[in-house]
Amino acid sequence: MSILRHNILLRGIVLLTLAGGIITLSSCINRRLTARLAQKAIEKECAFRDSSQTVGLLTGYYEVQPQARPILDSLVKAGLIKCRITEVAENKRVEKYTWWEGTTVTFNKVTHYFAEVSLTDEGSKYVVAHRPVTRKGEDDIPETETIITDTTEAADESAEAQTYGYQAIPVVTEPREVALPADSGSKAYAAALKKVKYKKLDMLTGFLKVKKVFHIMCSDYDVKNGSAGCAFVSTFERITPFGRLLTSHTEGEKTVYTATLVRYEDSGWTVTAINNNLTGVVPGTDQPQ
């Protein structure tokens, strides 16, 4: 009887030892960064969320620089906006002082361009009403890969708002005090400035996706300290008309990044920094960085 009890006890000790080893191994595996865990952590970052890739567009009435007109025309041609350009002349007062003549006043004619911009039904499909500004799980914005078309929640800007300039379209909306001498001919310009009112909308440009994770850097020392690093390739996919016309993105463009991660006991691996400072060729492709 004592021999039987001894064998049962010995068997139990062996099983407990094996179980402890398995638990330890499992814990060790969970603590070491893998390509799957790295990709999961990177995809939570704001830049890789469904509605994060946007470009600003102003709708309403505002002054634009001459070089903005071809871009606005391209948006009209694509059926994304309606736009009416009005030319407003200003006789700009110029004062010049010389010691032999004193102060002389001249008026130079300057042409300003004011745009009245509104979205078409087609353009409205790309409005993002709730652009995420933090990583997934830290706000209530759902990941649906659909575009929110409600433009009523966009912030209403007045002439007192700051100057907005969105990529590829220089915009002049900074209010200025305009001197109005009786003979200056600047009243039309001053009246146009008083009418300035616009909304800044976020227009979807496409989706940034993680395609490949490589160069996992997670030594035994890193495992113990809960730190790691990796490199990864991202692609820009499903580019929208606003992405093609207002940004430099192209469909399927590849970019190589490095990422630094830390491991938290409650949330696992989390990205702390992303940089695109790699050079060379993406592994498995002939695509240079």
Across residues 127-149, what is the average pLDDT?
A: 72
| Residue position matching structure tokens 């830049």 | 47
How far, in whole angstroms, is CA 203 from its chain's centroid? Answer: 10
Across residues 147-173, what is the average pLDDT?
A: 39
Please state, in angstroms and as integers, the Cα–Cα distance from residue 223 to each residue in 196, 215, 232, following that order: 58, 16, 20
Query: Are 114 and 192 a contacting pair, CB within 8 Å?
Result: yes
Phi, psi of 164 (to 5 degrees): -110, 135
Across residues 76-94, what is the average pLDDT?
A: 90
b/e burial code for range 29-58 (CB count within 10 A of at least 16 → b): eebbbbeebbbebbbbbeebbbbbbbbbbb
CA gap 13, 9 in Å, rounded:
6
Of 175, 190, 196, 197, the closest CA to residue 92 belongs to: 190
Across residues 41-45, what is the average pLDDT?
A: 92
The amino acid occupying position 240 is: T
pTM score? 0.70
| The CATH classification of domain 34-52+205-289, taken from the options 3.10.450, 3.30.70, 3.40.109, 1.10.20 | 3.10.450
197-204 and 156-157 as β-strands: parallel, antiparallel, unpaired? antiparallel
Query: Are 54 and 128 a contacting pair, CB within 8 Å?
Result: yes
Strands (E), the chain: 54-64, 81-98, 102-119, 156-157, 171-172, 197-204, 207-217, 227-237, 254-264, 268-275
Domain boundaries of the chain, sorted by first residue: 34-52+205-289, 54-204
Note the pLDDT tens digit of each residue in 164-217. Answer: 333 334 444 444 444 444 445 578 888 999 999 999 999 999 999 999 999 999
pLDDT band at 108 (very low <50, low <70, confident <90, very high): confident
Of 256, 262, 258, the closest CA to residue 281 belongs to: 256
Q: What integer pLDDT is reported at residue 62 of this predicted model?
A: 93
Across residues 149-158, what is the average pLDDT?
A: 40
pLDDT band at 73 (very low <50, low <70, confident <90, very high): very high
Beta bridge partners of 1: none
Question: At residue 112, does pLDDT exceed 70?
Answer: yes
